[in-house]
Amino acid sequence: MAADSYDAIVVGGGHNGLVAAAYLARTGAKTLVLEARGTTGGAATTEAPWPDAPEFRVTRLSYVMSLLPATIMNDLQLERHGYKIFPMGPYYQAFPEGGSLTLYEEDSQRAYDEIAKWSKRDADAYPKWNAWLGGLADVLGPLLLTVPPAIGSRKPADLAATLRLAWRHRGLDVRTIADVTRLMTMSIADLLDDWFESPQIKGALAVNGVIGTWAGPYEPGTAYVMAHHSIGDVGDGRLGSWGFPEGGMGAVADAIASSARANGVTIRTGAPVAKITVAPGSGRATGVVLANGEELRAKVVVTSLHPKTAFLDHVGREHLPSDFASDIEHWKTRSGVVKINLALAELPDFTANPGTNLQEHHTGSVEMAPSMEYIEKAFIDAREGRPALRPFSDGVIPTAFDRTLSPEGTHIMSLFTQWVPSEWASEPHADELEKYADRVIDTYNEVAPNFKGAILHRDVVGPYEMEQDYGLIGGNIFHGELSLEQLFHMRPAPGFADYRTPVPGLYNASSATHAGGGVCGIPGMQAAKAAIADRRKSARARR
Ligand SMILES: Cc1cc2nc3c(=O)[nH]c(=O)nc-3n(C[C@H](O)[C@H](O)[C@H](O)COP(=O)(O)OP(=O)(O)OC[C@H]3O[C@@H](n4cnc5c(N)ncnc54)[C@H](O)[C@@H]3O)c2cc1C
């Protein structure tokens, strides 16, 4: 095989690209990963954003693990390659009007006592809610590892796949189907109103419904987003709950890269791809052209990039069916997320739970989402074209466990905040982002008065930077919204949810396929499996 020729080329060295490459190489395929940036990992990245303080490292975009299946962990032997998770502590919210709420997932009596401070009725309802959600997660979780069938297709193989899926769910009763329907169609606000009465509990439980979403808690479909973030089992073994990887999220990508290399994968960084080449006659993918003009050939190409980049820029409309090109053009990819990373001289000293010594409430999510109305107002501001006056924030302090990220005695705090107008993905808005970050910090300072003074450095990453520097078009954190019309057999386009594309030989491993987004590796694994299955099939046909 010529030096510039490969069995498989993977475009993009984010965690999904790396997973795809590792699976392909395990079958003996000569595999190359091409990554535009200087490092691999994409949105799973640990960086030192302050040149004058390189001893502080932040998990710059994504910040916690949950959905990586045991299959991938075992197949790629990730623990042997350095993958280590610290399970997260409880959910914590200190309220501007005083008091706090700590939700202990593992200790039902403590959770009861905490919730009963705000509502005895809600304390009684909480275990039932958890059981209800657990039952639904048991139905939805395994679907994440299911390749969506091409619903509506009359091809025998597609019909068989649709029937197999229906058969698998034949045991579901009317009640469960009704509950799944509710979950798929309701707003998280309406759903929580059915279960709980206190604004404090509803605020706490609404957060997962709007994470990364261009929708406030009153928008239909947000109940499903909550479920997506609450699934703890994808059907191949119970996962740990949310957790912090040692070394930050970049360490997860590093473990996958190390496993890929051990399987023989070559990884080139600083190698932006400009084009995916397509043979004129057969319409098959034949390789890639890099931005510097270098041409590389491959029997299989896997793209893990945002679908607008992969298909509209790299493949080109001229090689795509017009329906598909139009679906990708209309792909919704907004978020309005701003990530704020802080280096802290000391831990937040909450008025409701005093002390700068490490305590349990520092070890989980340290929220600023005191009620659903608070979250909703933040969204309305952004939808009307203004950055939120009082943004909501999903905060975490990974250094409560992971001492590799900052010097002894100091801490890193990661604030995942929403929303700024989605149009901010097109322009930097640098000054306004700093003012927005000031307001986020002020909200924490109201409940922990040492907060502002403890900040040594800060790093604010808005949608423009996410698009320009990381390829997250529109600033969407998942390569495309998790809205109902973009899920399962529609992700990223009807007829192409099986990780294949309209271009034979080109496979899709992006978070814009089913089970993405999130750092779960499932799209990478499924795209590689589809490519491997197709090659075996054509090898059999040639015999
Ligand atoms: C702010 C933020 C917070 C998040 N928080 C969480 C979280 O806590 N937990 C969680 O599970 N998920 C989280 N996510 C989502 C998760 O990080 C992503 O869904 C996931 O990392 C995407 O992985 P990927 O491999 O599919 O794509 P990416 O990580 O986007 O990787 C694509 C890669 O392709 C590269 N690339 C782009 N263009 C080219 C080109 N022309 N040539 C070659 N390479 C190219 C990019 O540089 C990148 O490395 C978050 C995302 C963001 C942005």
Alpha helices, DSSP H only, in 144-285?
156-168, 174-185, 188-195, 199-210, 222-230, 249-262
Nearest CA to ligand 1 atom 35: 12
Ligand 1 pocket residue status of 369, Cβ below 6 Å? no
Q: What is the pLDDT of residue 106?
A: 78
Q: What is the pLDDT of residue 287?
A: 98
Q: Phi-psi region for residue 495, left (φ > 0), alpha (ψ -120 to 50) or beta?
A: left
Q: Give pairs for 275-282: CB < 8 Å, separation 24+.
A: 275/314, 275/316, 276/11, 276/301, 276/303, 276/310, 276/314, 276/315, 276/503, 276/506, 278/315, 278/316, 278/319, 278/503, 282/504
- Is the full-model pTM beyond 0.85? yes
Counting ligand 1 atoms within 8 A of each CB, the residue from 62, 275, 473 with the most, and so the one to mutate, is 62
Q: What is the pLDDT of residue 84?
A: 93
Ligand 1 pocket residue status of 35, Cβ below 6 Å? yes
Q: What is the pLDDT of residue 170?
A: 67
Ligand 1 pocket residue status of 267, Cβ below 6 Å? no
Nearest CA to ligand 1 atom 3: 62
Ligand 1 pocket residue status of 416, Cβ below 6 Å? yes
Nearest CA to ligand 1 atom 53: 477
Q: What is the pLDDT of residue 140?
A: 80
Query: Degrees (nearest 5) of the Cα angle 74, 249, 420?
Result: 135
CA-461 nearest atom, ligand 1: 1
Q: Which of 229, 245, 235 is nearest to 72 (CA)?
A: 235
Q: How far is the CA of 409 from the centre of ligand 1 (A)?
A: 31
Each residue's pLDDT, cut to its tens digit, for the chain (543 residues) gives 777 999 999 999 999 999 999 999 999 999 999 999 999 999 999 999 999 999 999 999 999 998 888 899 999 999 999 999 998 999 999 999 999 999 988 789 999 999 999 999 999 999 999 888 888 877 887 788 888 878 777 787 777 777 677 667 667 778 888 888 888 889 999 999 999 999 999 999 999 899 999 999 999 989 988 887 776 554 455 444 689 999 999 999 999 999 999 999 999 999 999 999 999 989 999 999 999 999 999 999 999 999 999 999 999 999 999 999 999 999 999 999 999 999 999 999 999 999 999 999 999 999 999 999 999 999 999 999 999 999 999 999 999 999 999 999 999 999 999 999 999 999 999 999 999 999 999 999 999 999 999 999 999 999 999 999 999 999 999 999 988 899 889 999 999 999 999 999 999 999 999 998 899 999 999 999 999 999 999 888 888
Q: For the chain, report the end-to-end CA distance as a whole number of angstroms.
A: 21
Q: How far is the CA of 316 from the centre of ligand 1 (A)?
A: 22
- C-alpha separations of 395 from 97, 205, 273, 369, 514 in Å: 19, 15, 35, 10, 27
Q: How far is the C-alpha of 527 from the C-alpha of 536, rounded, in Å?
A: 14
Counting ligand 1 atoms within 8 A of each CB, the residue from 305, 308, 340, 424 with the most, and so the one to mutate, is 305
Q: How far is the CA of 488 from the centre of ligand 1 (A)?
A: 19
Q: How far is the CA of 353 from the centre of ligand 1 (A)?
A: 36
Q: Which of 364, 303, 425, 395 is nearest to 33 (CA)?
A: 303
Q: What is the pLDDT of residue 224?
A: 87
CA-519 nearest atom, ligand 1: 11
**Chain centroid, CA 238 distance in Å:** 19
Q: What is the pLDDT of residue 234?
A: 46
Ligand 1 pocket residue status of 213, Cβ below 6 Å? no
Q: What is the pLDDT of residue 541?
A: 87
Q: What is the pLDDT of residue 240?
A: 44
Ligand 1 pocket residue status of 478, Cβ below 6 Å? yes
Q: Which residues contact 531 (CB under 8 A, 6 or more apart)?
A: 8, 24, 300, 302, 507
Q: What is the pLDDT of residue 232?
A: 56
Q: How far is the CA of 40 from the centre of ligand 1 (A)?
A: 10
Q: Which helix (H) or strand (E) holds 278?
A: strand 273-278
Nearest CA to ligand 1 atom 5: 62
- Surface-to-core class of residue 174, CB atoms within 10 Å of its CB (0-12 exposed, 13-18 middle, 19+ buried): exposed
Q: How far is the CA of 475 from the centre of ligand 1 (A)?
A: 11
> Cis omega before residue 142 (within 30°)?
no
Ligand 1 pocket residue status of 337, Cβ below 6 Å? yes
Q: Which two tokens stand for residue 171?
A: 């045991």
Ligand 1 pocket residue status of 17, Cβ below 6 Å? yes
Q: What is the pLDDT of residue 433?
A: 98
